[in-house]
Amino acid sequence: MTELLAVGAGGFIGSCLRFVITKRASAMSASFPFGTLLSNAVAGLLIGFIVGLECRSVVIPPRTKLFLSAGFLGGLSTFSTFSLDTVHLFMAGRYLSALVNVLVNLGLGLSGVAAGMFMAKLA
Could you read off the pLDDT of 6-17 as tens digits, one per residue? 999 999 999 999
End-to-end Cα, the chain, rounded Å: 38
Is 35 among the domain residues? yes
Is 12 among the domain residues? yes
Is 102 among the domain residues? no
For residues 61, 62, 67, 71, the Cα torsion angle rounded to the nearest 10 degrees is 150
Is 88 among the domain residues? no
Number of domains in the chain: 1
Is 103 among the domain residues? no
Neighbours of 105 (CB within 10 A): 15
Average pLDDT over residues 53-72: 91
Is 107 among the domain residues? no
Task: Answer for the pair 70, 10: CB distance below 8 angstroms, yes or no.
Answer: yes
Cα separation values, 69 from 29, 47, 64, 87, 123, Å: 29, 7, 8, 16, 35
| Percent residues over pLDDT 90 in the chain | 54
Is 28 among the domain residues? yes
Could you read off the pLDDT of 84-107 as tens digits, one per residue? 889 999 999 999 999 999 999 899
Enclosing domain of residue 65: 2-77
Task: Answer for the pair 69, 63: CB distance below 8 angstroms, yes or no.
Answer: no
Is 20 among the domain residues? yes
Report whether pLDDT(52) > 90: no
